[in-house]
Structure 1
Amino acid sequence: MAFTILLTACGNSNTDNSVNRTSPPSVGEKAEPISITIRHTQVKDTQKKRLIMLQDAVKATEANVPGLTITLDGVEDKVNRFEKLRAEMAAGNPPEIFDLFGGTDTRDYVKADRLMDLTPILNELGLIDKFYSFDEFTVNGRIYGIPMAGYVEGLYYNKRILAANGLKPPQTWDELLAAADALKAKRITPFALAAKDSWVINMMINTMWVRTAGVDSIEGFLDGSKRWTDPEVIDAFSKYHTLVKRGYLQEGSLALSYAEQQNKFSSGEAAFMFDGSWANTPLLDPEKSTIAGEIGFMNFPSMGGPGDGYINGGWSNAYGFSKKVNVGQLAAIKEFIRQMYNEPMQKRQLIEEGMPPAMKLQDVSNVNPLIRQILDVFAGAKGTFPAFDSRIQTKVREKLERGMQELIGGRTDPATLMTDIQKQQEASNKEEAHTK
């Protein structure tokens, strides 16, 4: 596991932000105006620190590239990924720099010839070997995105609630059910959940079906070697349905947006919350969380299947760059990469925001205990697997999202849902085969 290197690395804390500079014009020479737009997704109240880091990198880039003006265009991440960026890519006019998701998104945009090949730039800047992984942004051996940070998904738990009720962090599915049953009996919400934003539901069920069906399940759905209707897949959805039927999930979740899930947990009103490493920021903010010092993080409990011990994690969010840039814009892009991707900036992200670094840091000291635990869990996993929506087709993802809301709302059952998903999977596979 790559994070083992991070956790055992040591060195001096280096806050020197100096990087290579773009040469200024000669005395008396007027710089030609250069303008670029950066599409970012740091628009939420919980992302203010990340936005400041981006703004600092922008200021440094403008200072080092004569005549450069950078415009920041902030868009909510799902709107950017599923609506705005897709429309811009279809029209052939994306921003010069933009937030890019790996896997299927990157492959589609490479196929459309919209993304800049970053391989020569990364080699030129000496960065190619300083990252943990470019896998989700590599197509035919070429790199098309530079990940900013890593992520990992798992189970947050309230130490105080568990201890007060004589419970330990559950290591198996049966222990998790027993804990949930004991907590509900005392009128404590076992799981915080906001199901209005359908992608939130699919984080935990993605891990659950990998537990029961294996880490190769997604590729199996795509190549036909596995089916959503296989017993080991249905088993995971049936177990999730158990949580629904027993009332272990947050009441009224279908009407609640993602922030309400974090609010329920950070207010000390729920014992567990399945979420990503990115959620640690509001949880550790004493102005937003009453349990900032009482939070633990763990891999999801074992369920007796081939995927036990694996964790959903990797480096799937990056900056991508438009292929349509002029010479001046290319110089600005290179300088932005220098300012954004360096040890001080990555360390700052880790300390201030708890974002697992994308680059191999020499110094990981002074990390918050919860963030350290998240990194330990990442490093200690048996292996990793990517989020299913980085591989699966859009229509399958959308049908699964709607179907999970229907399952929570009592409008379908696991077997029916899996039959519907398999039909869509077969249709999407057939459609994809025809376009190749």
Structure 2
Amino acid sequence: MITAEATTAPASLWAYTAPETAANPPLRGDHSTDVAVIGAGFTGLRAALHLAEAGTRVIVVDAGDVGAGASGRNGGQVNPMLPFNAPSKIREIVGAKTFERLAEASLGSADALFDMIRRYQIDCQARQNGWLRVNHSNAAHRKAIADTQNWNAIGAEMEVIDGAEVRRLSGSDTYQSGMVNPRGGAVQPLMLAQGLARVARDRGARIHGGSAVKSLSRQGDSWVVATAHGRITAQSVIVATNGYSDDLVPNLAKSVIPITPVQIASDPLPEDVIAEILPHGHTISDSRRVIMYARREPDNRMVYGGHGQPDRHGNLGGFDWLVKDAERVFPQLRGVTWRHRWGGKIAITDDHLPHLHEPKPGLLVGLGYNGRGVAMANVMGRVLAERAMGAAPETLPFPITSLAPIPLRNAKVFGLPHVIRWMRFLDKIETR
């Protein structure tokens, strides 16, 4: 729920600019299908599309509707590569053979998404002009050099740039070095979710909104997915709820830490205000612990994002910090009107890798994109569909891992606001 500070402006920019679409009807009555998908975000819709295209019967249900969760609320940046971990650490976690498949899938995730958008002619303001990641400190600069060398060794094609080039590409004097990944880009995420739903429906998938799943049970060789007014009997179930996971699958919610990125978006800005900011269409993010990420829209709006924090009433905070930070990074934006304020929950895993689980035969779960959800959810959805259709585990880019709670998760979630404040303090010292 987004209330209080967030609702003093219109809805999110994505909801404001996406075309109106008819709500998907709630599930009613008893139905039989091959695969039931729980969650109508990027992961679930991509899985449904892949299944339907293969001739598999599929029904998608969501407590809200298409893109109602993070898929329709995120920053819309299509950043390839897995975050946090260096290639050597990922290899250590997943093993050498899986690492090769995972690295290939990760580095190609943005290309795969843009290829899919073109193939299905999804209108979502897609542009692949590159991703600029800028360094906030000397230590971050040194790490970026090492990371770039390590990722380039396996095909990343990134380039380290100096402060002058950062200034030319970003319009900001704040950062003294950075990295350019030419495969990055941006989409209008809610329009992407709507487009995926349309293409999946055209190929036979059924999608139902307003259909929160009340229970999930095994009956003989089938699974039964029950909502308030309907029931689906399926051979397999795909759970694609990510940061909105609950107790439907035991330990699933406890296996991730939900965090709440927030964004602000301006009115369309005059050319003399915005001309120097991201003039070549790059997206941008920085290397701080509490990161910023930003993009320039085709109509000259600015979108600026970072960490937010809901209070105990569900009200989102963090917007004032975003305004101040946007003006610090881009002084050109001082005094502009930030018309839109919104956010949504994403899922962080303990090892900072996406997780593929199969807790019982015929029950598949994919989640935990750690801030790379636009690109990696597209990969995960396809992989979940392939597994549901019988793909062998050794052919998949994700290892099938056991589902277990994060150690001390409740304490970590409770302490998250204090951790964020401490990380901001460290960032401020290093930036100075």
The normalised TM-score by structure 1 is 0.26
The normalised TM-score by structure 2 is 0.26
Structure with a larger share of its residues in strand: 2
Structure with a larger share of its residues in helix: 1
Higher alpha-carbon Rg: 1
